[in-house]
Amino acid sequence: MSVRPIVLLGDPRLRLKGQPVDGFGKSLHELLDDLTESMRDAPGVGLAAPQIGEALQACVVEVGGQLHELVNPRITRSSGDDRDLEGCLSIPGYVAYVNRHERVWVVAQNRFGRNIKVAGEGLLARAMQHELDHLDGKLYIDYLGSLDDLIPVGSGEDEEESAEIAAAALA
Protein backbone atom coordinates (compact mmCIF):
# COMPACT_ATOMS: atom_id res chain seq x y z
CA MET A 1 0.00 0.00 0.00
CA SER A 2 1.23 3.46 -0.72
CA VAL A 3 0.00 7.01 -0.78
CA ARG A 4 -0.12 8.06 -4.42
CA PRO A 5 0.02 11.65 -5.72
CA ILE A 6 -3.43 13.00 -6.57
CA VAL A 7 -3.91 14.25 -10.12
CA LEU A 8 -4.96 17.90 -10.13
CA LEU A 9 -7.37 19.95 -12.25
CA GLY A 10 -5.82 20.72 -15.63
CA ASP A 11 -4.29 17.25 -15.98
CA PRO A 12 -6.06 15.56 -18.94
CA ARG A 13 -6.09 12.21 -17.08
CA LEU A 14 -8.92 13.58 -14.90
CA ARG A 15 -11.12 13.75 -18.01
CA LEU A 16 -10.57 10.18 -19.19
CA LYS A 17 -13.43 7.72 -18.88
CA GLY A 18 -12.51 4.80 -16.67
CA GLN A 19 -12.29 1.46 -18.47
CA PRO A 20 -14.32 -1.43 -17.03
CA VAL A 21 -12.33 -3.61 -14.66
CA ASP A 22 -12.21 -7.26 -15.75
CA GLY A 23 -9.45 -8.62 -13.52
CA PHE A 24 -10.00 -9.08 -9.80
CA GLY A 25 -6.51 -10.09 -8.73
CA LYS A 26 -3.49 -8.56 -7.12
CA SER A 27 -3.22 -5.42 -9.26
CA LEU A 28 -6.84 -4.42 -8.54
CA HIS A 29 -6.33 -5.12 -4.82
CA GLU A 30 -3.21 -2.95 -4.80
CA LEU A 31 -5.07 -0.19 -6.65
CA LEU A 32 -7.95 -0.27 -4.13
CA ASP A 33 -5.51 -0.31 -1.20
CA ASP A 34 -3.63 2.66 -2.66
CA LEU A 35 -6.91 4.52 -3.20
CA THR A 36 -7.92 3.99 0.43
CA GLU A 37 -4.53 4.98 1.80
CA SER A 38 -4.35 8.07 -0.42
CA MET A 39 -7.95 9.07 0.48
CA ARG A 40 -7.24 8.76 4.22
CA ASP A 41 -3.95 10.63 3.89
CA ALA A 42 -5.59 13.58 2.08
CA PRO A 43 -7.95 13.30 4.01
CA GLY A 44 -11.16 12.88 2.05
CA VAL A 45 -14.39 10.86 1.97
CA GLY A 46 -13.74 9.30 -1.43
CA LEU A 47 -11.19 8.82 -4.18
CA ALA A 48 -11.49 7.46 -7.71
CA ALA A 49 -8.86 5.64 -9.78
CA PRO A 50 -8.58 8.43 -12.39
CA GLN A 51 -7.51 10.75 -9.56
CA ILE A 52 -4.35 8.69 -9.12
CA GLY A 53 -3.85 8.41 -12.87
CA GLU A 54 -5.53 5.04 -13.51
CA ALA A 55 -8.35 5.20 -16.07
CA LEU A 56 -10.32 2.37 -14.49
CA GLN A 57 -13.85 1.99 -13.11
CA ALA A 58 -12.84 1.74 -9.46
CA CYS A 59 -13.25 4.03 -6.48
CA VAL A 60 -13.43 4.05 -2.72
CA VAL A 61 -15.82 5.95 -0.45
CA GLU A 62 -15.56 6.15 3.33
CA VAL A 63 -18.31 7.79 5.35
CA GLY A 64 -19.13 7.23 9.01
CA GLY A 65 -16.26 4.79 9.45
CA GLN A 66 -17.56 2.48 6.73
CA LEU A 67 -15.30 1.84 3.74
CA HIS A 68 -16.91 0.96 0.41
CA GLU A 69 -14.79 -0.36 -2.45
CA LEU A 70 -16.78 0.07 -5.67
CA VAL A 71 -15.65 -1.63 -8.87
CA ASN A 72 -17.63 -1.06 -12.10
CA PRO A 73 -20.29 0.85 -10.13
CA ARG A 74 -23.48 2.33 -11.51
CA ILE A 75 -26.46 4.12 -10.03
CA THR A 76 -29.65 2.14 -10.49
CA ARG A 77 -32.05 4.42 -8.63
CA SER A 78 -32.05 7.86 -7.07
CA SER A 79 -34.48 10.07 -5.24
CA GLY A 80 -34.77 13.50 -3.71
CA ASP A 81 -32.61 16.58 -4.02
CA ASP A 82 -29.91 17.89 -1.76
CA ARG A 83 -27.84 21.05 -2.07
CA ASP A 84 -24.68 21.24 0.00
CA LEU A 85 -21.04 22.23 0.01
CA GLU A 86 -18.72 19.86 -1.79
CA GLY A 87 -15.07 19.84 -2.68
CA CYS A 88 -12.68 17.69 -4.69
CA LEU A 89 -9.21 16.48 -3.74
CA SER A 90 -8.21 17.22 -7.35
CA ILE A 91 -9.30 20.87 -6.98
CA PRO A 92 -7.64 21.91 -3.71
CA GLY A 93 -8.51 25.17 -1.99
CA TYR A 94 -12.09 25.49 -3.23
CA VAL A 95 -15.57 24.21 -2.50
CA ALA A 96 -18.99 24.99 -3.95
CA TYR A 97 -22.68 24.32 -3.43
CA VAL A 98 -23.68 21.43 -5.68
CA ASN A 99 -27.11 19.87 -6.25
CA ARG A 100 -27.14 16.09 -5.86
CA HIS A 101 -29.71 13.39 -5.33
CA GLU A 102 -30.53 12.92 -1.66
CA ARG A 103 -30.47 9.12 -1.98
CA VAL A 104 -28.86 6.76 -4.46
CA TRP A 105 -28.74 3.02 -4.94
CA VAL A 106 -25.50 1.74 -6.44
CA VAL A 107 -24.69 -1.69 -7.82
CA ALA A 108 -21.03 -2.58 -8.19
CA GLN A 109 -18.56 -5.40 -7.75
CA ASN A 110 -16.25 -5.84 -4.82
CA ARG A 111 -12.53 -6.59 -5.08
CA PHE A 112 -13.28 -10.25 -5.71
CA GLY A 113 -15.77 -9.62 -8.50
CA ARG A 114 -18.82 -10.39 -6.36
CA ASN A 115 -21.88 -8.22 -7.04
CA ILE A 116 -22.71 -5.77 -4.25
CA LYS A 117 -25.34 -3.11 -3.62
CA VAL A 118 -24.84 0.05 -1.59
CA ALA A 119 -27.72 2.35 -0.68
CA GLY A 120 -26.76 5.75 0.62
CA GLU A 121 -28.25 9.04 1.64
CA GLY A 122 -26.83 12.42 2.55
CA LEU A 123 -23.05 12.53 2.59
CA LEU A 124 -22.64 8.90 1.48
CA ALA A 125 -24.96 9.52 -1.48
CA ARG A 126 -23.11 12.74 -2.35
CA ALA A 127 -19.70 11.07 -2.14
CA MET A 128 -20.81 8.15 -4.34
CA GLN A 129 -22.26 10.51 -6.96
CA HIS A 130 -19.03 12.55 -6.90
CA GLU A 131 -16.83 9.45 -7.32
CA LEU A 132 -18.98 7.89 -10.04
CA ASP A 133 -18.70 11.18 -11.93
CA HIS A 134 -14.90 10.91 -11.73
CA LEU A 135 -15.15 7.49 -13.41
CA ASP A 136 -16.90 9.28 -16.26
CA GLY A 137 -14.31 12.07 -16.50
CA LYS A 138 -16.72 14.49 -14.88
CA LEU A 139 -15.96 17.03 -12.12
CA TYR A 140 -18.27 18.93 -9.77
CA ILE A 141 -17.25 22.22 -11.34
CA ASP A 142 -19.04 21.03 -14.51
CA TYR A 143 -22.33 21.60 -12.65
CA LEU A 144 -21.56 25.21 -11.73
CA GLY A 145 -23.07 28.06 -13.72
CA SER A 146 -19.74 29.87 -13.45
CA LEU A 147 -16.36 29.34 -11.85
CA ASP A 148 -17.27 32.44 -9.81
CA ASP A 149 -19.45 30.02 -7.81
CA LEU A 150 -16.28 28.44 -6.39
CA ILE A 151 -15.76 29.41 -2.77
CA PRO A 152 -12.13 29.67 -1.59
CA VAL A 153 -11.45 27.64 1.54
CA GLY A 154 -10.57 30.12 4.27
CA SER A 155 -13.24 32.61 3.21
CA GLY A 156 -16.66 33.16 4.74
CA GLU A 157 -18.84 36.01 5.89
CA ASP A 158 -18.64 34.99 9.51
CA GLU A 159 -17.14 32.37 11.79
CA GLU A 160 -19.99 29.90 11.25
CA GLU A 161 -19.83 30.09 7.47
CA SER A 162 -16.02 29.86 7.51
CA ALA A 163 -16.25 26.72 9.65
CA GLU A 164 -18.79 25.16 7.26
CA ILE A 165 -16.56 25.89 4.28
CA ALA A 166 -13.54 24.45 6.05
CA ALA A 167 -15.51 21.32 7.00
CA ALA A 168 -16.88 20.62 3.50
CA ALA A 169 -16.37 17.01 2.42
CA LEU A 170 -13.62 16.42 -0.14
CA ALA A 171 -13.66 13.49 -2.52
What residues line the site for Ni ion (CB under 5 A)?
A: 88, 171
- DSSP lists the bridge partners of residue 119 as 105
- DSSP lists the bridge partners of residue 84 as 98
Q: Which is nearer to Ni ion, 8 or 116 (CB)?
A: 8
159 in catalytic set: no
Chain-centroid distance, C-alpha 160: 25
Options 54, 62, 86, 131, the catalytic residue: 131
Helices (H), the chain: 26-41, 123-134, 159-166
Q: How far is the CB of 18 from Ni ion (least distance, A)?
A: 13
Q: Which is nearer to Ni ion, 21 or 88 (CB)?
A: 88
Dihedral sign of CA atoms 13, 97, 131, 166 in order: positive
Q: How far is the CB of 4 from Ni ion (least distance, A)?
A: 14
Q: How far is the CB of 116 from Ni ion (least distance, A)?
A: 22
Just list the catalytic residues.
131
